[in-house]
Protein backbone atom coordinates (compact mmCIF):
# COMPACT_ATOMS: atom_id res chain seq x y z
CA UNK A 1 0.00 0.00 0.00
CA UNK A 2 1.28 3.46 -0.87
CA UNK A 3 1.19 6.19 1.74
CA UNK A 4 1.27 9.90 0.97
CA UNK A 5 2.48 12.80 3.00
CA UNK A 6 1.22 16.30 2.21
CA UNK A 7 2.70 19.72 2.87
CA UNK A 8 1.54 23.27 2.27
CA UNK A 9 4.05 25.96 1.39
CA UNK A 10 2.64 29.36 2.35
CA UNK A 11 3.88 32.87 1.82
CA UNK A 12 3.72 35.68 4.33
CA UNK A 13 3.23 38.60 1.95
CA UNK A 14 2.75 39.36 -1.71
CA UNK A 15 5.98 41.28 -2.26
CA UNK A 16 8.99 40.18 -4.27
CA UNK A 17 10.91 39.55 -1.04
CA UNK A 18 8.18 37.39 0.53
CA UNK A 19 9.09 34.64 2.98
CA UNK A 20 7.91 31.09 2.31
CA UNK A 21 7.30 28.44 4.98
CA UNK A 22 6.21 24.81 4.82
CA UNK A 23 3.70 23.28 7.27
CA UNK A 24 4.27 25.98 9.86
CA UNK A 25 2.03 25.23 12.84
CA UNK A 26 1.19 27.31 15.91
CA UNK A 27 -0.48 26.27 19.13
CA UNK A 28 -2.28 28.88 21.18
CA UNK A 29 -4.78 29.33 23.93
CA UNK A 30 -6.97 32.16 25.19
CA UNK A 31 -4.38 33.38 27.69
CA UNK A 32 -1.06 32.73 25.92
CA UNK A 33 0.71 33.97 22.84
CA UNK A 34 0.91 31.53 19.93
CA UNK A 35 3.86 29.13 20.12
CA UNK A 36 5.33 27.52 17.04
CA UNK A 37 5.06 23.71 17.19
CA UNK A 38 6.17 22.90 13.64
CA UNK A 39 7.54 19.37 13.15
CA UNK A 40 11.37 19.19 13.22
CA UNK A 41 11.61 18.00 9.62
CA UNK A 42 9.67 21.01 8.39
CA UNK A 43 11.59 23.38 10.67
CA UNK A 44 14.79 22.23 8.98
CA UNK A 45 13.36 23.17 5.57
CA UNK A 46 12.06 26.48 6.93
CA UNK A 47 15.54 27.26 8.30
CA UNK A 48 16.93 26.71 4.80
CA UNK A 49 14.29 29.04 3.38
CA UNK A 50 15.23 31.69 5.97
CA UNK A 51 18.88 31.36 4.93
CA UNK A 52 17.87 31.95 1.31
CA UNK A 53 15.85 34.99 2.35
CA UNK A 54 18.81 36.37 4.33
CA UNK A 55 20.89 36.52 1.12
CA UNK A 56 18.54 39.30 -0.11
CA UNK A 57 18.58 37.84 -3.64
CA UNK A 58 14.94 37.83 -4.69
CA UNK A 59 12.74 36.12 -5.64
CA UNK A 60 13.66 33.03 -3.64
CA UNK A 61 10.68 30.93 -4.77
CA UNK A 62 12.63 29.06 -7.50
CA UNK A 63 15.27 28.04 -4.94
CA UNK A 64 12.56 27.08 -2.42
CA UNK A 65 10.84 24.89 -5.04
CA UNK A 66 14.17 23.25 -5.90
CA UNK A 67 14.75 22.43 -2.21
CA UNK A 68 11.28 20.94 -1.94
CA UNK A 69 11.82 18.86 -5.08
CA UNK A 70 15.20 17.65 -3.84
CA UNK A 71 13.47 16.44 -0.65
CA UNK A 72 11.09 14.34 -2.76
CA UNK A 73 8.10 16.69 -2.79
CA UNK A 74 5.92 17.06 -5.90
CA UNK A 75 3.89 20.24 -6.46
CA UNK A 76 0.25 19.24 -7.00
CA UNK A 77 -1.89 22.36 -6.50
CA UNK A 78 -2.06 25.98 -5.50
CA UNK A 79 -4.65 27.52 -3.23
CA UNK A 80 -5.82 30.72 -1.61
CA UNK A 81 -5.35 30.58 2.14
CA UNK A 82 -8.09 33.06 2.95
CA UNK A 83 -5.58 35.60 4.24
CA UNK A 84 -5.14 38.77 2.19
CA UNK A 85 -2.22 38.18 -0.15
CA UNK A 86 -1.92 34.63 1.19
CA UNK A 87 -1.14 31.88 -1.26
CA UNK A 88 -0.37 28.26 -0.61
CA UNK A 89 1.30 25.64 -2.75
CA UNK A 90 0.34 22.03 -1.98
CA UNK A 91 2.92 19.23 -2.26
CA UNK A 92 2.85 15.48 -1.79
CA UNK A 93 5.43 12.73 -1.59
CA UNK A 94 5.36 8.99 -1.19
CA UNK A 95 6.43 7.58 2.18
CA UNK A 96 7.11 3.97 3.14
CA UNK A 97 4.69 3.95 6.06
CA UNK A 98 2.43 6.45 7.78
CA UNK A 99 3.94 8.78 10.32
CA UNK A 100 3.11 7.86 13.94
CA UNK A 101 0.34 10.46 14.32
CA UNK A 102 -1.30 9.22 11.11
CA UNK A 103 -1.16 5.63 12.37
CA UNK A 104 -2.92 6.57 15.61
CA UNK A 105 -5.64 8.47 13.77
CA UNK A 106 -6.16 5.53 11.39
CA UNK A 107 -6.41 3.07 14.32
CA UNK A 108 -8.87 5.31 16.16
CA UNK A 109 -10.96 5.66 13.01
CA UNK A 110 -10.93 1.87 12.49
CA UNK A 111 -11.90 1.28 16.11
CA UNK A 112 -14.85 3.69 15.80
CA UNK A 113 -16.06 1.92 12.66
CA UNK A 114 -15.76 -1.47 14.36
CA UNK A 115 -17.93 -0.29 17.29
CA UNK A 116 -20.75 0.78 14.97
Total domain count, the chain: 1
**Sheet order of strands, 87-95 included:** 20-22, 3-11, 87-95, 74-80
Residue 8's nearest CA partner among 33, 49, 42 is: 42
Q: Which pLDDT score, from 0 to 100, does residue 66 have?
A: 96
Instruction: Give residue 42's domain range.
Output: 3-115
Sequence-separated (6 or more) residues with CB below 8 Å from residue 8: 22, 23, 79, 88, 89, 90, 91
pTM confidence score: 0.73
* pLDDT over 90 percentage in the chain: 47
Strand positions, DSSP E, 1-116:
3-11, 20-22, 26-29, 32-36, 74-80, 87-95
* pLDDT over 70 percentage in the chain: 79
Q: Which residue has the higher pLDDT, 23 or 103?
A: 23
Q: Which pLDDT score, from 0 to 100, does residue 111 have?
A: 52
Q: Which pLDDT score, from 0 to 100, does residue 114 have?
A: 53
pLDDT digits (tens, 9 = 90+) for 7-32: 999 887 777 788 899 998 889 888 88
Residue 26's nearest CA partner among 42, 48, 4, 6 is: 42
Amino acid sequence: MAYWEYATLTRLSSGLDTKWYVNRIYQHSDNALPEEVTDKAYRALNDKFDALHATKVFPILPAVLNLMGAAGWELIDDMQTGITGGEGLVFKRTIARPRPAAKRAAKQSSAKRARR
